[in-house]
């Protein structure tokens, strides 16, 4: 009697366990904040692209190596003058609502993305003259050759969705390996595997939940307690809490973010190259790497991160070595031995604030009087970024797949050039780089980076690490040079 009741219990438990298996594999991912909108042409928050990468696809998509490969287009060809791209659509690609992907959908989505009346980032696709549907795909005609064009097609704003879709902001319809099942603001986003995905390969996890946990300490505790399996972007301040936990694993990769002490090149006395050079030689970047980032991260000599391997100039190490002696001489030469400057720090970025506090000490050692000013993010954006009313500041500039998108910032008339940097040769090179297609681009951008290192719009410090913390057993993590979490590549 007793024995049979035991076996009944065992059987019941086995059924429950099997039921659990049948329920499918679930991955819980912790992110600090909600997306803003899933309408590809309206979204501006980085938090959106992180999730949207799994839902939407463009004609092409980014790879972890920083290349682009076909997504909804199986392949493409370019005409001899490099102005007409022909994309061939994949057979059998369907949207999450079950409808077939047609060339008309592509034309509609791309036209909407470059319509300044609707799309926030319409300007980024302004190189397109016309998009037309052809028998097996679409043809995109450019005004002139453009080396950055193919990369822009991998951005969220160039995602493809059905022409009949309404209310994309909350109900995205894409072609990605996952679709959005539910979005509970401040709580979670539930993604489900899309079983009609064109590749035919099914990702391991049937369900992926992005849990919103704003506090970094509680993120870590949730990981340790097993409620969360993956933190894609762990704050460095809590790294020590996970490092020695045998059940957890932390993978580090460059974030493709350029931390830079920006110098207001238009303002006295920083318009004097010797003063900027003195500031650069007075920065002990290694000390900042250890002091602010616990030694994680990559030192930078350029405005590009080494994660942009195809374009990064790795021959600039000796341009600005730490040399306080020479820095003092330069200040003396320029007649600014008693230099005073205000260092404006954005309060919401502990990494930048710490870097700023460290550099203040290093510059004080040169006899410079440094006045630290810590401001709230909104104030920073208004005063430093928009009005350019500052001496020196520090910020991280997010990388992209294509060097042009990053480097164009330093051209004379660019609206994002809050450095007020101006160099004629540099402007020429950036214009040339955009017109150049193929392998010749590299040489152009190598020279452009050299100019930035020598002429100093600011002092480039480091690319902080992107730390992905996960429970042991989660495999297949791929870190991208863009702001994404690739759920489909993960398995247990």
Partner 1 sequence: MKRYLLQKTGGFVLTAILVSILTFFVIQILPGDPALLMLGTEATPEIYARVRMEMNLDKPVLQRYFGWFADFLKGQWGNSWRYSMPVRDLVARAFPLSILLAFLSVGAALLVATPAGMFMAARPKTYSARLISVLTQAGLGLPQFWVGLLLIQVFAVNMRLLPAGGNSSYASFLLPTLTLALPRAAILSRFMRVGMADALRQDYIRTARAKGVSSRAIFFKHALRNGSLAVVTVAGLQFAQLFAGTIVVEQVFGLPGVGQLLLTGVFQRDLPLVQAVVMVIVFLILLFDLAFDLCLGLLDPRIRYE
Chain residues binding partner 1 by CB under 8 A are 33-34, 36-39, 42, 44-45, 116, 120-123, 169-170, 184-188, 211-215, 217-218, 221-222, 224-228, 376-379, 381-383, 385-386, 395, 397-398, 415-416
Min separation Cβ 312 and partner 1, Å: 21
Task: Give least dist CB 386 to partner 1, A.
Answer: 7
- Residue 293 near residue 440 (C-beta atoms within 8 A): no
**What percentage of the chain's residues is helix, strand, coil (to nearest 5)?**
35, 25, 45
Q: How far apart are CA 228 and CA 221, in angstroms?
A: 9
Long-range CB pairs of 181-188, under 8 A, 24+ apart, other chains included: 181/207, 183/35, 185/34, 185/212, 186/34, 186/212, 187/211, 187/212, 188/212
Residue number with CB closer to partner 1 (258 or 446) = 258
CB closer to partner 1 out of 53 and 363: 53
Q: How far apart are CA 157 and CA 122, in angstroms?
A: 9
In the complex with partner 1, the residue whose CB is nearer, 73 or 222, is 222
Question: Cβ 375 to partner 1, closest distance in Å?
Answer: 8
Query: Considering beta carbons, is residue 63 or 379 the nearer one to partner 1?
Result: 379
Distance CA 427, CA 145 (A): 18
Which residue's CB is nearer to partner 1, number 93 or number 255?
255
Q: Could you tell me which of 448, 463, 464 has the C-alpha nearest to residue 409? A: 448
Distance of closest approach, residue 59 Cβ to partner 1, in angstroms:
22
CB of 159 to partner 1, least distance (A): 16
User: Which residues have a Cβ under 8 Å from the Cβ of 183 and sit 6 or more positions away?
Assistant: 35, 170, 189, 190
**Closest CB 219 distance from partner 1, rounded Å:** 9
Q: What is the largest CA-CA distance in the chain?
A: 99
* Residue 293 and residue 465 in contact, taking contact as beta carbons nearer than 8 Å: yes
Nearer to partner 1 by Cβ, of 166 and 225: the residue is 225
What SS3 class is residue 50? helix
DSSP summary character for residue 278? H
Q: In terms of CB distance, is 382 or 428 closer to partner 1? A: 382
Closest CB to partner 1 among residues 141, 245: 245
What is the C-alpha to C-alpha distance for residues 271 and 457, in angstroms, rounded to an integer? 10
Q: Which is nearer to partner 1, 193 or 409 (CB)?
A: 409
Neighbours of 296 (CB within 10 A): 16
Helices and strands per DSSP (H, E), number in the chain: 14, 19
Three-state SS annotation for 96-163: CCCCECCHHHHHHHHHHHCCCCCCCCHHHHCCEEEEEEECCEEEEEECCCCCCHHHHCCCHHHCCCCC
Beta-bridged to residue 141, according to DSSP, are 84, 130
């Amino acid at each position: 009697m007793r024995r049979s009741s035991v076996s009944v219990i065992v059987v019941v438990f086995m059924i429950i366990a099997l039921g659990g298996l049948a329920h499918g594999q679930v991955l819980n991912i912790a992110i600090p904040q909600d997306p803003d909108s899933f309408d590809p042409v309206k979204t501006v928050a980085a938090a959106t692209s992180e999730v949207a990468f799994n839902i939407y696809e463009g004609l092409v998509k980014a790879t972890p190596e920083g290349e682009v490969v076909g997504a909804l287009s199986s392949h493409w060809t370019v005409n001899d003058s490099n102005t007409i791209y022909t994309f061939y659509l994949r057979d059998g690609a369907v949207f999450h609502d079950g409808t077939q992907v047609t060339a008309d959908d592509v034309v509609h989505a791309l036209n909407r993305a470059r319509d300044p009346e609707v799309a926030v980032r319409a300007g980024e696709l302004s190189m397109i003259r016309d998009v037309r549907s052809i028998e097996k795909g679409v043809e995109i005609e450019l005004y002139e050759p453009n080396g950055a064009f193919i990369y822009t097609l991998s951005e969220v704003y160039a995602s493809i969705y059905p022409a009949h879709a309404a209310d994309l902001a909350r109900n995205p319809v894409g072609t990605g390996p996952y679709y959005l099942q539910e979005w509970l603001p401040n709580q979670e986003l539930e993604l489900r595997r899309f079983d009609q995905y064109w590749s035919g390969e099914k990702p391991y996890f049937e369900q992926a939940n992005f849990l919103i946990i704003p506090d970094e300490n509680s993120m870590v505790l949730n990981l340790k307690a097993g409620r969360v399996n993956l933190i894609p972007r762990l704050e460095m301040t809590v790294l020590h809490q996970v490092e020695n936990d045998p059940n957890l694993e932390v993978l580090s990769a460059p974030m493709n973010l350029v931390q830079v002490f920006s110098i207001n090149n238009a303002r006295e006395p920083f318009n004097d190259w010797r003063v900027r050079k003195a500031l650069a030689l007075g920065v002990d970047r290694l000390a900042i790497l250890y002091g602010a980032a616990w030694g994680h991260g990559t030192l930078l000599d350029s405005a590009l991160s080494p994660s942009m391997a195809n374009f990064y100039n790795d021959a600039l190490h000796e341009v600005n070595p730490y040399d306080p002696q020479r820095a003092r001489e330069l200040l003396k030469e320029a007649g600014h031995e008693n230099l005073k400057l205000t260092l404006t720090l954005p309060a919401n970025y502990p990494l930048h604030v710490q870097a700023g506090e460290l550099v203040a000490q290093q510059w004080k050692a040169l006899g410079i009087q440094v006045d630290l000013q810590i401001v709230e993010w909104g104030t920073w954006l208004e005063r430093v970024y928009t009005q350019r009313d500052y001496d020196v500041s520090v910020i991280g500039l997010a990388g992209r797949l294509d060097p042009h998108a990053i480097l164009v910032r330093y051209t004379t008339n660019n609206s994002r050039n809050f450095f007020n940097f101006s160099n004629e040769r540099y402007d020429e090179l950036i214009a040339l780089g955009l017109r150049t297609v193929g392998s010749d681009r590299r040489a152009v951008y190598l020279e452009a980076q050299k100019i930035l290192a020598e002429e100093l719009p600011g002092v480039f410090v480091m690319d902080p690490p992107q730390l992905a913390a996960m429970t042991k057993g989660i495999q297949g993590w791929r870190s991208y040079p863009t702001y994404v979490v690739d759920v489909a590549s993960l398995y247990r």
